[in-house]
Each structure stands twice: as structure tokens, then as C-alpha cells.
């Protein structure tokens, strides 16, 4: 496939990496591409980069024609509070950007458009089930969610009117190594937590900031987007991309204690009493229609040495959502503590990904510390 990805941020760059590794030709279309970040995540020279505005339809059409693109993945847009900082700019950017993507796909007769929405579109107060399903009601309860709901309806309209092949992906709270220019709150707060761990400073986890959320790693969302591009004759066409589990501040604090037992960690404040915030997404249809790779992955012969610590070959971790990468440290038999020096914590701990709690074996937990964070 020849794939154009709008947006070269956290999701776009990790999707590009997945696609490049799968042998696809990729071009990142971004208003102000961070070429250093792209090089670190995707690989230097592995993807073409076009610096242009998605609101500029002629520039978009030129890129599609010049690079012989057959598939678009639309990740670009402002997120959360960034949309509301300037309501006109935020709404115009997100909605008109989607119109341009769809119109370009129609004019160029592309094979598929994959649109990245959000789990924030769900009207959770209207959901009575134990899981959030793709068929549950959606609505615009804030401006950001409104732009996403509007864009989803535009995707459906173009699919119906012009027989455009489309897929919608609704990720959970995405985190990972990024620069968050679009306004990713989850990404920023998880980065701050990881940096605090690496520095070894006392940590206070605010229950409201780190309140119940379905955290999903950027690489996993990238994999979901690759599989959405590859899917043959998908039926539902709208898919959740999460983990199937919700975690809060206390669980995050426990993971920090597990990884860095000597750190002082406490939780402050209280979480929302809204039970709907604790409902995980149902990703059974995602697994069934996209790929089983989304629920089980294993790595072998992966050994990374750091002074005082060795990361063991990862175990297989079965989970309810996007691919979970599980690594764990070999503990010292004498002290039963992690043997990682402060310098090596930056190198080695930064490669520890989702931890599986021994006391909660049915759930994977949530803290991912990405490589080369600093």
C-alpha cells in the first residue's frame, strides 16, 4: 500500500512505523513536522514528509497524486482543550480537515480512508451495559467530542453517497513518546509521571488528573491503524482501540511502587463518582474483524543489558485490547528488589512496558515507559 498519514504526532508517527515495518510506502502530511521526532520513531528516511496544511485541498491532492497514494489515515487535528482555546479555529481545523480528506479520497478514487476518532464520543451516561460497545450512543458533550462526532457522520455520509471505503477507529486515552503539540492531555500527564520516576523525585499522583481511564499505548494504536488499512471486507467498520480495562490513580501508584520501590509515592484527592467513567471498551469486534494480533503478542530472544539489570525475554500477555508488550526485570534473589542504577533506570526502565500484576493476573496494568524518553 501507498499510505498518506495526516498528522505526524504520537499516533501518526507510530502508525507510520508500523506501516513502514510492514513494507508499505508511507508519507506523513503535517503542518509543521518535527523531523527529529519522526526520525526517532519512524526511522530516518523511512517515510516521506510533506509540510502542508490539511485545510489546503490543492496541496493535499498534489501530494496524493505525486506519491501515488491509495490509502489515507487521518490522525491530524486538535485535541481536548486545544479545540476550546479558540472554538472557531478548533472546530474549523477538525471538521473542515475531515471534509478535505474525504473529498480528496473521492476525487482520487482511493481504496480506503481510515479515520481516527476517540472514545470520548460515547454518551456514557446513557450506557447501562458493563462495557462500551461501538453501537452505543455517541454525542457532542464538549466541543472536541462534537468535532469528532461531526467528522464520523461525514465519514458515513461519504461512504453512503460515493461508495467510499471507510473505517473509523476510536482509541482510548493514548500515551507514549511524543511532543503533544495537538494537546494530548493523557500523553502529557503520563510523560510527566515517567519523567518523575526516572528522576527519582517523590511523586504525588493526583486522583483527578490520573482518574479512571482506559490507557492505550501509541504503538498499539498504530498497529490498530495498520490492521484497519489491511482488513479485507470488514463488516462493522467502526472499532474500539483500547485495552478492555480501566485503571485509576491507586493502580498507577502501585505500578510505580513495583517498578521503583524506593520512590516515595502517594495519591492525593479523590476520583469522580461517575460510574460511567469506569466502563471499559468492548474490543471483541475489533479482535474478531481486524486481527487476533490485537489481543496477543509475544517477543522472543529480546535481551537488553544495562549495568546492574537485565531485561528478561518478555512473557506472552493476553489482554482484552490492543497488543500489549510485557517486559519485566530480573529481581535480585537476595533483596527481591529491582537492580537498576539511577542512570540505568533511564536506559532500562525506559524499556519496561505494560506490567502484569501478580495479584491481579486477569488484568494487565498500565504504565509504559518508552525508550529514549529523555
Give, in degrees to the nearest 5, the angle at Cα 209 between 204 and 210. Answer: 75
The cell for 191 is 510523560
d(CA 7, CA 131): 30
Domain spans of the chain, in order of start: 2-175+214-241
Beta strands in 244-365 (DSSP E): 265-268, 296-297, 304-306, 309-311, 317-318
| H or E stretch covering 19 | helix 10-21
d(CA 256, CA 259): 5
d(CA 72, CA 156): 16
Cα within 13 Å of Cα(256), Cβ side: 26
The cell for 172 is 482510548
**Using CA atoms in the order 238, 242, 248, 249, what is the torsion angle rounded to 10 degrees?**
-120
CB-based contacts of 281: which residues, under 8 Å, 6+ apart?
A: 119, 131, 132, 133, 170, 172, 214, 240, 242, 244, 321
Cβ atoms of residues 101 and 154 within 8 Å: no
pTM of the model: 0.79
Q: Which fold has domain 2-175+214-241?
A: Rossmann fold (3.40.50)
**In the prediction, which pLDDT does 260 show?**
83
pLDDT by 10s per residue, the chain, length 374: 999 999 999 999 999 999 999 999 999 999 999 999 999 999 999 999 999 999 999 999 999 999 999 999 999 998 877 787 889 999 999 999 999 999 999 999 999 999 999 999 999 989 999 999 999 999 978 899 999 999 999 999 999 999 999 999 999 998 888 777 655 678 778 888 888 888 888 898 888 888 888 989 999 999 999 999 999 989 999 999 999 999 888 888 888 888 888 889 999 887 665 666 789 999 999 999 987 554 433 222 222 222 233 323 222 223 333 223 222 222 233 333 333 333 333 333 333 333 233 333 223 333 444 333 43
Amino acid at each position: 500500500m501507498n499510505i498518506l498519514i495526516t498528522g505526524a504526532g504520537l499516533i501518526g508517527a507510530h502508525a507510520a512505523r508500523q506501516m513502514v515495518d510492514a513494507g508499505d510506502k508511507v508519507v506523513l502530511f503535517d503542518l509543521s513536522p518535527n523531523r527529529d521526532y519522526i526520525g526517532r520513531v519512524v526511522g530516518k528516511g523511512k517515510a516521506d514528509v510533506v509540510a502542508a496544511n490539511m485545510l489546503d485541498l490543492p496541496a493535499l491532492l498534489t501530494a496524493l497524486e505525486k506519491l501515488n497514494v491509495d490509502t489515507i489515515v487521518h490522525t491530524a487535528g486538535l485535541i481536548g482543550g486545544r479545540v476550546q482555546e479558540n472554538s472557531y479555529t478548533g472546530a474549523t481545523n477538525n471538521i473542515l480537515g475531515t471534509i478535505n480528506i474525504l473529498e480528496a479520497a473521492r476525487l482520487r478514487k482511493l481504496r480506503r480512508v481510515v479515520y481516527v476518532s476517540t472514545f470520548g464520543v460515547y454518551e456514557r451516561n446513557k450506557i447501562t451495559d458493563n462495557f462500551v460497545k461501538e453501537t452505543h450512543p455517541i454525542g457532542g458533550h464538549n466541543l472536541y467530542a462534537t468535532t469528532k462526532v461531526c467528522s464520523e457522520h461525514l465519514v458515513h455520509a461519504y461512504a453512503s453517497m460515493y461508495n467510499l471505503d471507510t473505517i473509523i477507529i476510536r482509541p482510548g486515552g493514548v500515551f507514549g513518546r511524543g511532543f503533544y503539540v495537538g494537546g494530548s492531555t493523557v500523553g502529557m500527564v503520563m510523560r510527566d509521571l515517567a519523567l518523575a520516576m526516572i528522576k527519582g523525585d517523590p511523586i504525588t499522583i493526583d486522583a483527578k488528573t490520573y482518574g479512571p481511564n482506559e490507557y492505550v499505548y501509541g504503538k498499539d494504536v498504530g498497529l490498530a491503524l495498520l490492521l484497519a488499512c489491511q482488513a479485507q471486507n470488514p463488516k462493522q467498520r467502526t472499532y474500539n482501540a483500547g485495552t478492555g480495562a480501566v485503571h485509576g490513580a491507586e493502580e498507577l501508584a502501585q505500578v510505580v511502587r513495583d517498578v521503583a520501590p524506593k520512590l516515595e509515592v502517594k495519591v492525593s484527592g479523590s476520583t469522580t463518582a461517575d460510574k460511567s467513567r469506569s466502563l471499559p471498551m468492548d474490543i471483541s469486534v475489533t479482535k474478531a474483524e481486524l486481527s487476533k494480533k490485537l489481543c496477543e503478542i509475544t517477543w522472543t530472544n529480546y535481551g537488553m543489558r544495562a549495568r546492574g539489570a537485565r531485561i528478561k525475554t518478555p512473557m506472552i500477555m493476553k489482554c482484552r485490547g490492543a497488543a500489549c508488550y510485557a517486559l519485566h526485570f530480573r529481581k535480585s534473589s537476595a533483596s527481591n528488589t529491582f537492580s537498576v542504577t539511577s542512570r540505568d533506570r533511564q536506559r532500562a526502565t525506559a524499556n519496561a512496558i505494560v506490567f502484569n500484576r501478580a495479584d491481579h493476573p486477569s488484568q494487565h496494568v498500565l504504565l509504559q515507559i518508552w525508550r529514549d524518553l529523555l
